């Protein structure tokens, strides 16, 4: 296993295993990089690295699909695993377990280095020179409200008293060279911190970090508890502290090896229209909303910087790999803390983060004597739907462990044959609903309330599968395999 402390060493490692597609011809920055990246997701090709983009300084590059499925069929989750310092052949369930396990280990705080040792400050732009127009920011989709300056970068903010520092991913749209507008959801951690600045009537300092160490981007995109510092959690995953440097113009520390850092302040009112944007559910956006303005004041960057991007849409992109694994790890952590003997949790990529599978071991009834499967499903829903991350999940399936939950073909077979048409489900009415899940009615989005459900698919008696593995004697199977 190896931890990559900057984006460049990670790209080199992917390149060495044949998982980078070098796009050396000049591409039009409007749509070509995004369209190529989107197609790379849909055909599971190597990740595209764009070397020549029309209208920007020579040497500036774009990198697409940083944590999607690998083009290597023998290690499909390699990009996510390697980002987190895990072996490239790690399975999806192993990644979820690692993310959950790290929640229970002591955090390793970051260490500050001097500016001279920080590659992210090799070049410094101030005042009118600090303009987004210098950088290759494409339209993600042709129906979007503008060019999206953040799809895979880390936003760094902290509370006015400095006690809580938050690193997160949120979509941010470019307005012009000096302004951006970002989606700030009140219930999310960045929204909670922004609200504290609004209370005291002062604009919130922010740093938007493009291309830090891959683990930073990944952890910024998954749920961890409020008031926990992502930097400390990343240190735990890496086994060493993250190196940070003081930002040039604001009182924040930023990752020292980042490619680009944008510094400034966020307005205290929702004074600019953001959106629409094509989201992870797989549909192009159709609406916009008033959101705070991110004013650009200073930009620092490495020589020949690389701007990473995630072009969300139909499966499979970073929303359906990394973010889904993070949500599954969050669910797994809370259920085990509630002393429920859950074996695994998994969100199938093709469900676009609308299904969560909770896998129970064969002996769960022995571990929970006197508890029926209906009662277990009710308990699972009561635990999960109290957590903030589960606002994104409308449907939970409690399943046996007699199949591979990461194999979509097996998932469809199990859900088709074990979900009762009418009964065996726990329905939770009046749960919090936001617009990102795509399965609700307009009146439910307006009210912010809707139903969520836990389906009980657990078998009373385990049935043998009509399969090669379970349908024939072992000696027959072995003879066939030996002569295949």
How many Cβ atoms from other residues are within 10 Å of residue 391's Cβ?
18
How many Cβ atoms from other residues are within 10 Å of residue 404's Cβ?
16
Q: What integer pLDDT is reported at residue 228 of this predicted model?
A: 87
- Torsion over CA of 217, 223, 226 and 230, rounded to 10 degrees? -30
DSSP 460: S
**Phi, psi for residue 462 in degrees, rounded to 5:** -70, 125
Spatial distance between the Cα atoms of 336 and 427, rounded to a whole number of angstroms: 22
> Does a structural domain hold residue 331?
no
DSSP 248: S
DSSP 184: -
> Does a structural domain hold residue 167?
yes
Q: What integer pLDDT is reported at residue 187 of this predicted model?
A: 86
Asked which of 278, 301, 324 is the last residue of a domain, the reply is 301
- 415 and 295 co-located in one domain: no
- What residues have CB less than 8 Å from 337, skipping those under 6 apart? none
- Catalytic site residue from 243, 259, 279, 297: 279
Task: Report the CATH number that the domain containing residue 128 is assigned in CATH.
Answer: 2.30.110.10
Spatial distance between the Cα atoms of 120 and 153, rounded to a whole number of angstroms: 14
Sheet containing strand 253-255, strands side by side: 111-112, 243-246, 253-255
DSSP 116: G
Q: What integer pLDDT is reported at residue 21 of this predicted model?
A: 98
- 115 and 250 co-located in one domain: yes
- 388 and 250 co-located in one domain: no
- 295 and 146 co-located in one domain: yes
Asked which of 277, 301, 325 is the last residue of a domain, the reply is 301
pLDDT (tens, 9 = 90+) of the chain, 484 residues, equals 799 999 999 999 999 999 999 999 999 999 999 999 999 999 999 999 999 999 999 999 999 999 999 999 999 999 999 999 999 999 999 999 999 999 999 999 999 999 999 999 999 999 999 999 999 999 999 999 999 999 999 999 999 999 999 999 999 999 999 999 999 999 899 999 999 999 999 999 999 999 999 999 999 999 998 888 999 999 999 999 999 999 999 999 999 999 999 999 999 999 999 999 999 999 999 889 999 999 999 999 999 999 999 999 999 999 999 999 999 999 999 999 999 999 999 999 999 999 999 999 999 999 999 999 999 999 999 999 999 999 999 999 999 999 999 999 999 999 999 999 998 999 999 999 999 999 999 999 999 999 999 999 999 999 999 999 999 999 999 999 999 9
> Does a structural domain hold residue 427?
yes
Domain count of the fold of the chain? 2
> Does a structural domain hold residue 4?
no
Instruction: Cite the DSSP H helix spans in 103-188.
Output: none
Place of tokens 């990670």: 10
- 153 and 296 co-located in one domain: yes
DSSP 313: S
> Does a structural domain hold residue 2?
no
Report in angstroms the alpha-carbon separations of 151 from 154, 218, 310, 312: 9, 12, 5, 8
Spatial distance between the Cα atoms of 304 and 11, rounded to a whole number of angstroms: 14
> Does a structural domain hold residue 472?
no
> Does a structural domain hold residue 48?
no
- 272 and 420 co-located in one domain: no
- 280 and 361 co-located in one domain: no
Spatial distance between the Cα atoms of 242 and 292, rounded to a whole number of angstroms: 29
Instruction: Report CA torsion sign: 139, 145, 148, 149.
Output: positive
Q: What integer pLDDT is reported at residue 469 of this predicted model?
A: 95
- 180 and 274 co-located in one domain: yes
Pairing of strands 425-432, 204-210: unpaired
Pairing of strands 355-360, 61-64: unpaired
> Does a structural domain hold residue 123?
yes
Q: What are the DSSP calls for 132-152, one per residue? A: GGGS----SSTTSSS-EEESS
Find out whether 327 and 348 touch, Cβ atoms under 8 Å: no
- 99 and 189 co-located in one domain: yes
- pTM here is 0.95
The verdict on whether 279 is a catalytic residue reads yes
- 351 and 213 co-located in one domain: no
Report in angstroms the alpha-carbon separations of 46 from 1, 16, 61, 76, 311: 21, 12, 16, 11, 15
Q: What integer pLDDT is reported at residue 339 of this predicted model?
A: 97
- 234 and 344 co-located in one domain: no
Place of tokens 């991007």: 309
- 274 and 149 co-located in one domain: yes
Task: Report the CATH number that the domain containing residue 408 is assigned in CATH.
Answer: 3.40.1670.10
Residue 392: give the domain boundaries: 338-456
Both tokens of 373, joined, read 């499967």
Both tokens of 374, joined, read 């209906």
């Amino acid at each position: 296993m190896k931890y990559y402390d900057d984006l460049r060493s990670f790209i080199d490692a992917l390149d060495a295993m044949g998982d980078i597609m070098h796009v050396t011809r000049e591409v039009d920055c409007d749509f070509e990089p995004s369209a190529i990246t989107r197609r790379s997701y849909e055909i599971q090709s190597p990740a595209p690295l764009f070397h020549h983009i029309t209208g920007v300084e020579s040497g500036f590059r774009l990198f697409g699909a940083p944590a999607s499925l690998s083009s290597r069929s023998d290690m499909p989750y390699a990009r996510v695993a390697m980002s987190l310092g895990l072996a490239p052949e790690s399975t999806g369930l192993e990644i979820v377990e690692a993310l959950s396990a790290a929640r229970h280990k002591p955090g390793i705080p970051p260490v500050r280095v001097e500016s001279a040792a920080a590659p992210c400050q090799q070049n410094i732009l101030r005042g009118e020179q600090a303009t987004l127009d210098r950088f290759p920011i494409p339209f993600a989709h042709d129906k979007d409200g503008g060019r999206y300056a953040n799809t895979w970068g880390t936003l760094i903010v902290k509370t006015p008293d400095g006690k809580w520092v938050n690193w997160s991913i949120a979509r941010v749209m470019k307005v012009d060279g000096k302004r951006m507008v970002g989606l700030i959801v009140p219930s999310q951690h960045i929204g909670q911190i922004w609200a504290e600045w609004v209370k005291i009537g002062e604009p919130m300092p922010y740093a938007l970090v493009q291309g830090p160490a891959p683990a930073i981007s990944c952890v910024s995109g998954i749920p961890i508890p409020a008031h926990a510092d992502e930097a400390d959690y990343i240190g735990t995953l890496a086994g060493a502290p993250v190196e940070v440097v003081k930002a040039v113009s604001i009182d924040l520390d930023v990752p020292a090896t980042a490619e680009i850092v944008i510094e400034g302040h966020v307005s205290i009112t929702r004074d600019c229209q953001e959106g629409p944007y094509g989201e992870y559910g797989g549909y192009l956006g159709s609406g916009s909303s008033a959101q705070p303005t991110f004013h650009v004041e200073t930009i620092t960057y490495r020589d020949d910087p690389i701007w990473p991007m995630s072009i969300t849409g139909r499966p499979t992109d970073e929303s359906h790999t990394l973010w889904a694994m993070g949500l599954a790890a969050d669910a797994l952590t809370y259920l085990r803390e509630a002393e429920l003997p859950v074996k695994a949790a998994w969100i199938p990529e093709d469900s676009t983060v609308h299904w969560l599978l909770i896998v129970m071991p064969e002996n769960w009834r022995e571990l929970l004597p006197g508890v029926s499967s209906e009662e277990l499903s009710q308990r699972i829903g009561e635990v999960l739907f109290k957590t903030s991350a589960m606002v994104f999940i409308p449907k939970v399936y409690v399943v046996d462990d007699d199949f591979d939950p990461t194999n979509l073909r097996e998932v469809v077979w199990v859900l088709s044959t074990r979900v009762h048409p009418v009964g065996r489900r726990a329905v939770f009415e009046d749960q919090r609903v936001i617009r990102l899940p795509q399965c609700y009615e307009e009146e439910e989005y307006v009210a912010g309330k809707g139903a969520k459900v836990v389906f009980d698919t657990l078998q009373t008696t385990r049935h043998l599968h009509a399969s090669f593995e379970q349908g024939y004697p072992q000696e027959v199977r072995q003879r066939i395999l030996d002569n295949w």
